[in-house]
Structure 1
Amino acid sequence: MLFLDDSTTVIIAAKAAHESAVRCLLGKKLRGTTCGTAGCAVCAENIQQVVTPAGTALAALMTAPRLSTVISGEPKDLFILSNYLWAQLVPGFSWKDFKDFRKAARKKAGTRDAAEILLVTRFEGVYKAFKSVFDYTVWFSNSADKLRYDAYQLAANLGRNTCTYCNRIYTHTMKGKGNNKIMRPQFDHWFSKSKHPALALSFYNLIPCCSVCNSSIKGSLDFDLSTHVHPYVDKDCLDRFAYSYHYTRSTQSYAININPAFNDKKIFRTYSDFKLKEVFNSHHAELADLIRIKEAYSKKYIERLMGAFPGAKLAYKEVYRLAFGVEYDESDFYKKPLSKFKKDILRELKLIK
């Protein structure tokens, strides 16, 4: 996992743009008000207030401080707020009841027993209000080629070129002529939006990542700050594990391992849930290339390259990038896939400083 440093100018600006647009959307959804900013594309859209009983009750709870928290509050505060809203809007709320409701809701109406009907009656209006107000699927994903703030704009503002979770796959944001949307990273809801729908548009709950990590592997897994690493919270996440490899002579094969820091249960569970050991074992070719360089050049590969072009006056990390196609500085790992993996293996091979 790569650290998302919210003290950088890029992420500060991305957060500010997100706050402005989402605040306007929620104002219209909750109270039918607009931000009043001239030329605001969100204000110009036909966004309807949610006037159901649950929507009205939710609007009453969403005071100015809570609105600020749900848009850009820190992860620990998001979790507290989500629990608070559920408890206020669903009498006698419990996560067990919610789980049973989700199961009952997937059944056809005529097949539910009395207990399931009661659960659906208790939860359904509130759940629909959450999803309508904090509208990720339609408003934020926004498949239409509209010139307004949406997931494409957040992705472009963040400028993360590789997956935050695995750093294996490019996640560029690209548009064509006429604002035609071509590709962008997916956004994982670190706190699952099925369980915490009020956090569907929260800045710190939207993690840019690849489709493999988000859809194929994590899905709706239940993450918690006490058990899993969060990319905006855990500044030392890169230092708490290292990629390694093992050679088995009997089968003449290599296996890629992930070594967490001593007894680091959070990092171990995070990478186990993302199945990083399994997915990185698809990178035998990259590992083999690095081992061949080690065998051919021992410890002096980069030094020989620097010596071959003395006039270029290339810095060590520039030659490193040219030699291995990845970034040397940890703060730049997001720019090139496999930067963390290759640096760890190169260190194990003693090919770099």
Structure 2
Amino acid sequence: MFYPDQTSAGFLHARDEHFINVRYVIKKKLLGNRFKEAHPKGLPQKIDQVTGIHASVANFFNNESHLKKLLIGTPNILDSLKSKFQTPKEKASVKLLVRYDTFIDKKDTTTFRFYNAYHLAENLRQHTCVYCNRLYTQTIITENREFVARPTFDHWFPKGDYPLLALSFYNLVPSCSVCNSSIKGSTALSLSKIFHPYLKHQHPRDQMDFRFSFDLEDHTKAEGKLIANNVFSQQSIDTMRLAEMYSVHAEEIRELIYLKKAYSESYLHSLRSILKTPVSNEEIYRLAFGVYVDDDLLYQRPLSKLKKDILTELGLIG
């Protein structure tokens, strides 16, 4: 489970692009021709006004401060907004304005033709699932802008229960389909008890802190295990079923233990000497073991935290 860098230029660009474009769609649906702002990308775009919107819902979406909190407010702000508009008429109005189904429809040629889930995924550039780090979640768009593949977006606050948050940036977590659909699904969770990738609590006891380990040095029999260093981490691991999912990766752990026996320090020095260009220790380890040493880069390859933790315990990474 990773906390993405929310201060990076790429992340901030993804957030701002999401706000600008989704706000435009919602405003056009709500106000129609009365909304005079130009299209954010300068394109001619017809978006029909939606009629019959409940007054309280219309007032909320017409308020720029409320709309900004909804679309790019922090997870804590979304938690305070999630239960608004619970009457049937209010919910129906919200669903007319906040349409996740059209946002993910790559064939849509009207509402979100210029900005959809593929654009958000492309801007975020999340290489692996933030929950499990087992599978790639890269976005594939051809040179002709043909949409091929992207990560699924987990609604941390389930959109079925809280349709108001269906297009909120911090409620759209790029993840693999296993974590999103098979594991988490529409389960309602508590921010104070379970990991949210965009919410790093101030106290260390409420942050993700765990490591992978193993219980035998015999590489033919070794089994992996997860060691949580606080209750918050253990609850998050249990909820996302990480132990069960990683139980199928015993073979990778056994291979690393075998490599420990096969690769001596002299081998690593020899590998450096035969390469034609100077390489750092991090590059040597990546070439030998396929693993990043820098914690900030672990998200780039599947199973990277597993491999780093095991190699550290084996003494191959200091």
- State the TM-score, normalizing by the size of structure 2: 0.89
Question: Offset at 1:308?
Answer: 4.1
CA contact (8 A) 1:21 1:42 kept: no
Question: Offset at 1:176?
Answer: 3.2
Alignment of 1:303-314 (within 5 A): 303-309=269-275, 311-314=276-279
Structure 2 residue 212 is matched with structure 1 residue 243: yes
Aligned to 1:36: 37
Question: Offset at 1:35?
Answer: 6.1
Aligned to 2:130: 164
Q: Which consecutive unaligned segments of at least 5 residues does structure 2 have? A: none
Structure 2 residue 253 is matched with structure 1 residue 253: no
Cα separation, 2, equivalents of 1:35 and 1:288: 63
Q: Pick closer, same or farther for the CA change 1:301–1:41 going to 2, 3 Å.
A: farther
Aligned to 1:124: 88
Aligned to 1:318: 283
Aligned to 1:6: 6
Q: Which consecutive unaligned segments of at least 5 residues does structure 1 have? A: 91-122
Cα separation, 1, equivalents of 2:155 and 2:38: 29
Alignment of 1:192-271 (within 5 A): 192-234=158-200, 240-247=209-216, 253-261=221-229, 264-271=230-237
Question: Offset at 1:182?
Answer: 0.9
CA contact (8 A) 1:327 1:339 kept: yes
Cα separation, 2, equivalents of 1:238 and 1:295: 35
Q: Which amino acid aligns with 1:348?
A: E
1:142 to 82, 97, 105: 105
* Backbone CA RMSD of aligned residues: 2.4
Give per-residue Cα distances to partners, 1:274-315, cap 9 Å, x unaligned. 111111111122112101111223566544432443x52100
Give per-residue Cα distances to partners, 1:204-249, cap 9 Å, x unaligned. 1111111011011110111221111111122779860101112398
- State the TM-score, normalizing by the size of structure 1: 0.80
Cα separation, 2, equivalents of 1:303 and 1:35: 66
Alignment of 1:73-88 (within 5 A): 73-83=73-83, 85-86=84-85
Give per-residue Cα distances to partners, 1:117-174, cap 9 Å, x unaligned. xxxxxx4332222222111112x10221655111000000011111111111111111
Q: Pick closer, same or farther for the CA change 1:47–1:322 going to 2, 3 Å.
A: farther
Structure with bigger helix share is 1
Give per-residue Cα distances to partners, 1:56-110, cap 9 Å, x unaligned. 3201133221111001011101111223x23xxx4xxxxxxxxxxxxxxxxxxxx
CA contact (8 A) 1:299 1:352 kept: no
Cα separation, 1, equivalents of 2:69 and 2:49: 23
